[in-house]
Each structure stands twice: as C-alpha cells, then as structure tokens.
Structure 1
Amino acid sequence: MSTVAEEPGRWSSTPTRLRLSLAVGLVAAAAVAALTSLLMARVQDQVRTIGESAAPRAAIASDLYFALSDLDAQVARLILIGNAETQAGNRIDALTTYGRRSRQIDADLERLLTTEGATARDREVVTGLLNDLAVYRQWTWQAMTIVWQTSDGPAHAPPPTALGYYSQATNVVHHDLLPGAQRLRDASQANLERAYAAQRTTGVWGIVAVSVLGGVLAVFLIVTQVWLTRLFRRRLNPALLASAVLTIGLVASAAAVFAVGTSRLTAVQRDSLGPYLALSKAQAISYDAAADTSRYLLSERLPSYRQDFTRKSDCLLGGGACGPDGDQLAGGLATLAGGPGVAPADAEQVASRWEGYVSTHERVLDLADSGRPVEAIDALTGISRGDAAFDFHYYDTAISRIAEDRRQSSDAAFVNVRGLLAGWTVVPVVLMGIVLVLVPLGVWPRLSEYR
C-alpha cells in the first residue's frame, strides 16, 4: 500500500513534479559548479597576469628610466673629473657604476622585448631605444677617450672637444632615451591599471553571479525539502538538507574568496606596488637632478642646468610636474615614502636628506660661481659629510631601503593571493559533484513510490 498521502486531482502531476525537481536541481548544481570554477579560473589568470606580466613590466620600465638617468650622471662625473690624479678613486667608482648601469639597461631592454605582454608598439619603442643607446655610447666613449688621452690636468678643465661630444650624448639622453623610457613606463603602468580594473570587475561579477545562482539553488533545495516533507509526511530529507548546506557553504566561501582576493590585490596596488613604482620614479628624477650639478660645472655655469635642478628638486619635495616632458609625481618624497609599515619619521627622513643634498648642491654652485672650480669639484665628489657625493648617497640609502621593502612586500602579497585562490577551480566541482549525487538520493526514493 502506498505511503503517500492522497491528494485528489494531483496524483498524476506529482511524479512529473518530482522528475522536474530532480532535473532542475541537477542542472542548477552543474551550472553553479561550472560558473564558479570558470570565474575562479578567470581570476587566477588575471592575478597571474598582474603578478607575472603587468607588474614586472611596469617595474622593469621604471628601472630602465632610473638606470638611464644614472648612466648619464656617471658619464658627466667621468668627464668632469677627467685624468686628475686626486680623483682616481672617484674615477674608478664612476666607471664601475657606469658599467653596472649599462648592463642593467641592456638586461631591462631585453626583458621588455621578451617578457609576456610586450606589444608591437613596445617592441618598436625598445628597438628605437637600442638604436639611440648605440648612438649615445658612441658619443660618450668619444668624449671619454679624449679625456683619458689628455695628460694629467685639473679636474675642472676637460678638453672642449670632449665637452662637445658629451653635449651631444646628453642631448640623446634627454631628447630620445628618457622620453622613450618614459613612454614605456607610462604604457606599462597604464596596462597594469587595466589589468587591476579587469580583475576587480571579475571579482564583483563573481560575487554577484555565484551569490545569485548559488542562492537560487539553495532556496530551491530548501523549498523542495519543505514540499517533500509536507507531501510525504516526513520531517527531513537528509540528502537534500546536506545539498543545501553544501551549496550555501560554497556560495559563502566562494564569495569571500572573490572579495578577499580583490581586496588584497587592491591593497597591494595601494600600499606596496604603487608606492614602489612611484619611489622608483622619484629616484630616477633625483639622479637626473644630481647630474645637473655636474652638467652645470661642465657647461661653465649654464643657467638652464641650475633651473632644471630647481624644478626637479621642487617636484621631489612637493610633487607636481618634474620637467618639460610632463613627468609627474603624485606627492613629495615624504608622502611617497610613507604608508603602512613605515614610521612617519623614516618617511620625513627621506625628504630631509634630499634637502641636505640640495644645500650641498647650492654650496657647489656658489663655489663655481665665485671662480673656485677645483673646490667646487672637491665639494661635489668628496666622500665626507657635507660633500655632495656623501649627502646624495645618504639620501639614496634611505629611499632605496623603503623602495626595496615595498617591492618585497608586493612580491609576498602576490604569493599570498595566489595561495588564497589555489585549488578553487576544483573545489566548486567537488562540492557540486557531491550535490549532484545527493539530489537524486533525496528525490529518487520518493519518486520510486509511484512505481
């Protein structure tokens, strides 16, 4: 005898409704599994793109701009000190740094050509930079060859021919190399912003889509549970109850992963990667500004170099436009160096150390303007406190330490986000696979009572 309570007029439709409930539950569970897994795979791919392509390219482009700025600074230093016997140590240091920056530039250009995400426009710009770099090296080595072939003489009097060659070289840097590097840097950072925006969009859609579809499935399972309880006079259907619990658990945890992953990536951009790129830009500007001190002495006190230095220094301290090429800093050194994990005093220290270098720079220029070029060069290249080389190194140590901390924090954060997302293309399939088994187990016994 059937255990089902009779419902006049509905006997013929109940088996159909049971079969329909079974089909809807199976289709919805499969859809939740597929949608969640695909969205998680999409987010994982976007995180990989940001962490392994877009962010590294932005960092490489920033490093290239910095290395080019320092390369020309070292050339200016070499031309300025010439063959002076008293400057032998500085000459060796400048040559060593020149070689290191040159290798750094070559490596950066190669990586920009070969890393994932390089566009045809990027390759075109890199090819142009390689050609311009070859021209720059020709001019600089001609200038330095003339200097080194000159007998030992005062550091402040390089041969006019050498100065002419160096003038051509530094023009290539400021008219071709640095603008090209800036285009690469701006393009890579714009691409990074787009990658972040795409990930945030996927994260939001992931939360909405999984919550809606998974919520519909959970409600359907609960409603089916209530319907079967009333229809068949049973209190619980363990299989359907477990299916609802698993569905709710998946929806809640998946939505949390989408939200937390997006939040962490936003924090990386705001607190570590973004500040690192900004500090790298500030370092490049400061190196180029420091080179203006040497260029001022080499050019026999050309006012434009003093003005260039002042403009770049004001930009470093207060933010804004740093030069006629439109390069911008969003805030001064104290703002750029500040943030989570950095004591306010340490951030202020970066700005105060730059101000110390500015004071030394003014002293060097005052010595040159008063007709004491040898003393000016000694004050520029000396390694005692109060000399320009010492004060700049003192500043550079502070900003480099904070920038490196930001870079390491960024790398660690990307590893954490990838760890958070690990396995989430499989988890929805496994959980919904269990639901796909439980739903028939919950419905089929009731359906079998009609056979």
Structure 2
Amino acid sequence: MTVIVLAAVALLASTSFLMSRVQDQVRVIGDDAAPQAATAADLYFALSDMDAQVARMVLSNGKDSLANSQTDALGTYRERSRQADADLQKLMASSVGVLDLMDGLATYRERVWQALTAGSGAAGYYTQATNVLHLDLLPEAERLRTLSEERLDRAYASKQTTQEWAVALAALLGLALVVLLVALQVWLGRRFRRMLNPALIAATLLTVALVGPAIAVLVVQEQRLGAARDDSLRPFLALSSARAVSYDAAADTSRYLISDKLAFYKQDFDRKAAFLDGDAGLRSVAAGSDVSPYDSNQVLTRWQAYREAHGRILALADQGRDASAIGYLTGIRRGDAVFDFSYYDAAVAEIADNRQDAFDDAMRETSQLLTGWTWIPAVALGLVILLVPFSVRKRFAEYR
C-alpha cells in the first residue's frame, strides 16, 4: 500500500509540475517570444518604408502639381515613424542594442528634416539619411530580427523538451500505478476471497482517466503549436521580410531619380527584384496551404505590374524627361507607380494579417486546452491516495 501511495504522489508531483511548466512555456511563446519576433520583423519593414516615403517627399517637394503626393507621403512617413517608435519600445526590455538603434533613428530623422528644408541641397542630405538607414539602422534591425527568431526557436525547443518529459513520466508512472493497483486488487482477492474491490476499481479508473487525457492534451498542444509555427508564424515572418525588401526596392526607384541616375540604385533594385522574383521570394512566401492560388498569384501579378512601372520610370529618366518620370513615380492616381505598389502591398498585407490571426487563434486554443491541468491531477490523484487505504481497511478489519 505504501508503494502505491508513493507512486501516486510521484505521478501527482511530476504531472502537476510539468503541466504547469508547459503552460508557462506556452505563455512565453504566445505572449513574449512570438510577439517579439513579429515586432522585430515589423520594425525592419517600418524603417524600409520610412525611407521610401522620404524619397517620395524629396522628389515632390516644392512642386505644386505633386502636392497631393507630398501630403500622402508625409502622412505615411509619420505613420511608419510612430510604428518604428512603438516597435522599439516593445523591444526595449528584451533586446540589446535598442538604444543604439534609437540614437541612429534620431540621426536619420535629423538628416530627413535637412533634406526637406535644404532646397537645392536636398539630394545630398537625403543621401546621408539613406546611408544612415542602410549602413546602421537596417543592419541593426536585421540583427534584432535574427536574435528574436532564435529566441523563439529556443522557446519552442524548451517547451518540446518539457512536453516529452511530461509524456514519458505520465506514461511510465501512470502504468506503474495501474499495475500496482491491479496487483493489490488481485492480492486482496486471493487473500480475502473477494474478487472485486470497489475502492480499488475506482482508483484504477481514476488513474487511467487522468493519465490518458493528460498525455492526449500534451500531444495535441504540441501538434497545434507546431502547426501554428510552421503554417502561420514562420510564413508570416518570411512574408514580412520579403515585404520589407519590396519597399526598399521601391525606394530605389526614387533614389535613382534623386541621385541623378546613379547606376548603383538601378543595380540595387535589380538585385532585390531578382530575389523577390526567385524561388525563395514572393512565389514561395506568398503561397501555402492557407492561401488560395488566386490570392498568391495576385501578389506576383501586382508586383510584376510595379516592376513594369519601375522600368518605364527609368526609361523616362534616361530620356531626360525627369518631370514626367517624377510625376509618374509620385502620383497617387490609378495607373501611377504609387498606386501600383499600394495595390501589390494590399495583397501582401491581407495574407500577412490572416497568418498572424491564425497564429493568435492557435495560441488561444492551446491555452484553453491546457486550462485546469495544474489542479486536475491533484484532484484525481488525491482521491486515489484516499481510496487506497480505504480499500484495504475493511478487508483487514474482517481479518481481525
């Protein structure tokens, strides 16, 4: 009897502790590690778009015919600037280097202000601003993004290890307790010629009713979280990364005009576009079991439309028709390059939002699945521990 009670206590302690540990690790993934990874990806995207909007503002600055484009770019720049500030605040507590990034962002904003107020010297100040972005801010943002994704992977690995231990111990100790309870039942039946002991039967059924569902819950939550990571979170992060690249590529179109047709920016656009058009680019990250072929094709089709617009803008600029190139680039009417890019980005944003929502739903379902499993073992095994001495008390009393 003592061995049975000790086995029940061991099963209770291990199951309660490891279930509680799994719950805590799921919370770390859902409330900390995954949001941090998404925030770091969003920061990279916000910084990329800030520079794209600054390029638009520099090109349209002082041109009455492009006042609407100037206003649109300024509004988007302010929105992305607030977005970057919010992301940095969220990353402050868990990431090293955020303060340096904030200092760099302040320097960038100063260069942007100088570019917008310098008149004929705008191109020089904008070059300084975009150099700060590409040499300091984006590399640091990419480092934060990499670190946050590595932290997320470690959180998943740690939870998987705990889950494996929990399943193994629940199966091993649960089986041992059931065997001991059955053995006691058989011994009492032979010793006292009573084949059935209701208390021991109840204790055995309680043990089976606890261990089976506990293992099932652990296995199901692992499957759900793994699917949420592989089918929603990782595709979301990959799509966010490609989206940022496309924004930076779009800014190269403006930079080409600002720099008076510097070949570097044409080559830089071609390099980024080659990635986006390649096997690891938009074709891959916009597709998946969660996306219809039509929606994923829309991303590619709309991106190709912007690429064609980019080609026409550069052709106009190379012909010396700078005013027409700038008007086509910065205009916000249907058929202008900004409209084409916004149309493409809307398709990307819809897929990204759906993936983030799917991951959040999976996290909520997993948390609900684990609810109560810190006290359920205590109730079930507490009854088992009480039933065991109760089952033998009457039999020993009869013996006396």
Relative to the length of structure 1, the TM-score reads 0.87
1:365 matched to 2:314? The reply is yes
Write out per-residue CA displacement over residues 261-319 of structure 1, whole angstroms, 9 at most, x where no aligned residue: 11100011011111111111111111111000000111111111111111111111225
**Which letter maps to 2:313?**
V
What is the distance in 1 between the residues matched to 2:68 and 2:333? 14
How much has 1:345 moved relative to structure 2? 1.7
How much has 1:340 moved relative to structure 2? 3.0
Count of aligned positions: 400
Aligned to 2:142: 182
Aligned to 2:44: 65
How much has 1:372 moved relative to structure 2? 0.9
What is the distance in 2 between the residues matched to 1:448 and 1:336? 73
* 8 Å Cα contact 2:66/2:331 also seen in 1: no
Aligned match for 2:301, one of 352, 366, 383: 352
1:295 matched to 2:244? The reply is no
**Which letter maps to 2:173?**
L
* 8 Å Cα contact 1:335/1:347 also seen in 2: no
1:276 matched to 2:236? The reply is yes
Aligned to 1:194: 154
Write out per-residue CA displacement over residues 110-161 of structure 1, whole angstroms, 9 at most, x where no aligned residue: 11114xxx1xxx23x10110111111111110111123xxxxxxxxxxx2x2
How much has 1:385 moved relative to structure 2? 3.9
Aligned match for 2:116, one of 144, 165, 184: 144
Instruction: Kindly report which structure 2 residues correspond to 1:20-39, keeping only aligned pairs within 5 A, or say none.
Output: 22-39=1-18
What is the distance in 2 between the residues matched to 1:79 and 1:32? 69
Instruction: Kindly report which structure 2 residues correspond to 1:93-172, keeping only aligned pairs within 5 A, or say none.
Output: 93-114=72-93, 118=94, 122-123=95-96, 125-147=97-119, 159=120, 161-172=121-132
How much has 1:387 moved relative to structure 2? 2.1
Aligned to 1:379: 328
What is the distance in 2 between the residues matched to 1:197 and 1:338? 26
Aligned match for 2:349, one of 391, 400, 404: 400
1:211 matched to 2:190? The reply is no
**Which letter maps to 2:286?**
A
Aligned match for 1:46, one of 25, 28, 31: 25
Aligned to 1:322: none
**Which letter maps to 2:207?**
T
* 8 Å Cα contact 2:329/2:337 also seen in 1: yes
**Which letter maps to 1:54?**
A
Instruction: Kindly report which structure 2 residues correspond to 1:417-436, keeping only aligned pairs within 5 A, or say none.
Output: 417-436=366-385
Aligned to 1:416: 365
How much has 1:92 moved relative to structure 2? 0.5
1:239 matched to 2:199? The reply is yes
> Secondary structure in 1 aligned to 2:222?
helix
> Secondary structure in 1 aligned to 2:118?
helix
**Which letter maps to 2:304?**
E
* 8 Å Cα contact 1:338/1:344 also seen in 2: yes
What is the distance in 2 between the residues matched to 1:37 and 1:196? 20
Return closer, same or farther for 1:31/1:270 CA change in 2, 3 Å cut-off.
same
What is the distance in 1 between the residues matched to 2:273 and 2:390? 74
What is the distance in 2 between the residues matched to 1:384 and 1:102? 24
Larger helix proportion of the pair: 2
Write out per-residue CA displacement over residues 46-75 of structure 1, whole angstroms, 9 at most, x where no aligned residue: 000000010111111111111000011111
> Secondary structure in 1 aligned to 2:335?
coil
* 8 Å Cα contact 2:231/2:290 also seen in 1: no
> Secondary structure in 2 aligned to 1:235?
coil
1:317 matched to 2:292? The reply is no
What is the distance in 1 between the residues matched to 2:153 and 2:4? 40
Write out per-residue CA displacement over residues 328-366 of structure 1, whole angstroms, 9 at most, x where no aligned residue: xxx221321222332112112111211111111111111
What is the distance in 2 between the residues matched to 1:30 and 1:447? 24
* 8 Å Cα contact 1:225/1:240 also seen in 2: yes
1:74 matched to 2:23? The reply is no
What is the distance in 2 between the residues matched to 1:186 and 1:266? 20
What is the distance in 2 between the residues matched to 1:366 and 1:169? 26
Q: Which runs of 5+ in 1 are unaligned?
A: 1-21, 148-158, 320-330
What is the distance in 1 between the residues matched to 2:12 and 2:396? 26
**Which letter maps to 2:323?**
V
Relative to the length of structure 2, the TM-score reads 0.98
Write out per-residue CA displacement over residues 150-204 of structure 1, whole angstroms, 9 at most, x where no aligned residue: xxxxxxxxx2x21111111100000000001001010001000110111111111
CA RMSD of the aligned region, Å?
Answer: 1.2
Q: Which runs of 5+ in 2 are unaligned?
A: none
What is the distance in 2 between the residues matched to 1:56 and 1:406? 13
How much has 1:388 moved relative to structure 2? 1.0
How much has 1:450 moved relative to structure 2? 4.3
* 8 Å Cα contact 1:353/1:391 also seen in 2: yes
What is the distance in 2 between the residues matched to 1:224 and 1:49? 43
> Secondary structure in 2 aligned to 1:177?
helix
* 8 Å Cα contact 1:132/1:177 also seen in 2: yes
Aligned to 2:397: 448
Deviates more, 1:380-389 or 1:28-37: 380-389
* 8 Å Cα contact 2:69/2:332 also seen in 1: no
What is the distance in 1 between the residues matched to 2:60 and 2:183? 86
What is the distance in 1 between the residues matched to 2:311 and 2:87? 34
> Secondary structure in 2 aligned to 1:51?
helix
How many percent of aligned residue pairs carry the same amino acid? 53
Write out per-residue CA displacement over residues 8-51 of structure 1, whole angstroms, 9 at most, x where no aligned residue: xxxxxxxxxxxxxx111111111111110101000000000000
